[in-house]
Structure 1
Amino acid sequence: MDRFIVYVDDAPSAQQGLAALLARQPSARTQWLLVACAPRMTHRISKWVSHRARENWRDKWADKLFAQILPTLPAHAGAVTTMLAKAPLPELTAQLQAGHSAPAQVIDMRRPRMAHDEVPIAAGPRWSGLPGTLGSLVTGIGALCMLGME
Structure 2
Amino acid sequence: MDTTIVYVDEAAHALGMLAPLLQSGQARTPTRWIVVGCAPRITHRVSKWVTHSARESWRGKWAEKVFEQIVPLLQACGEPVITQLARGSLEEFTAALQAQHGEGRIVDARRPKPGADLQAAPGPHPGEPRGVWGFAGMLAGSGLLLTADY
Q: Say whether the fold is shared (TM-score over 0.5).
A: yes
TM-score (norm 1): 0.73
Determine the C-alpha separation between the residues in 1 that align with 2:85 and 2:75.
22
Given the alignment of the two structures, is residue 51 of structure 1 paired with residue 52 of structure 2, yes or no? yes
Instruction: Report the 3-state secondary structure (helix = DSSP H, G, I; strand = E; otherwise coil) of the residue aligned with 1:26.
Output: helix
Q: CA deviation at 1:96?
A: 0.6
Q: CA deviation at 1:127?
A: 4.3
Partner of 2:19: 19
State the TM-score, normalized to the length of structure 2: 0.73
d(CA) in 2 for partners of 1:74 and 1:85? 21
Alignment CA distance shift 1:77-1:10 (3 Å): farther
SS at match of 2:39: coil
Aligned pairs, number: 127
**In 1, Cα distance between equivalents of 2:75 and 2:53:** 35
Give the whole-Å Cα distance in 1 for the aligned partners of 2:71 and 2:56.
Answer: 22
**Letter of the structure 2 residue corresponding to residue 13 of structure 1:** H
Aligned partners of 2:6 and 2:106 also within 8 Å:
yes
Partner in structure 2 of residue 83 of structure 1: 84
Cα displacement string for residues 42-66 of structure 1 (whole angstroms, at most 9, x for unaligned residues): 3343321001100000000010111
1:1-150, aligned counterparts within 5 Å?
Answer: 1-24=1-24, 25-27=26-28, 29-73=30-74, 75-100=76-101, 102-114=102-114, 115-121=117-123, 126-127=131-132, 130=134
1:52 alignment partner, SS class:
helix
Q: Deviations over 1:94-127 (max 9, x none)?
A: 1011114x411111110012322344549xx944
Residues 1:63 and 1:28: Cα distance change in structure 2 (over 3 Å): farther
Residue aligned with 1:63, SS: helix
Aligned-residue sequence identity (percent) comes to: 48
**What stretches of structure 2 of length at least 5 have no aligned partner?**
125-129, 138-150
Amino acid at match of 2:9: D
Residues 27-55 of structure 1: CA deviation (Å, up to 9, x unaligned): 36210000000011233433210011000
Q: Which runs of 5+ in 1 are unaligned?
A: 135-150
2:143 maps to none
Give the conservation status (yes or no) of the 8 Å contact 1:28–1:78: no
- Specify whether residues 8 and 89 from structure 1 end up closer, same or farther in structure 2 by C-alpha distance, changes over 3 A only: same
SS class of match (2:30): coil
Structure 1 residues 50 and 127: alpha-carbon distance in aligned structure 2, compared to 1, 3 A threshold: farther
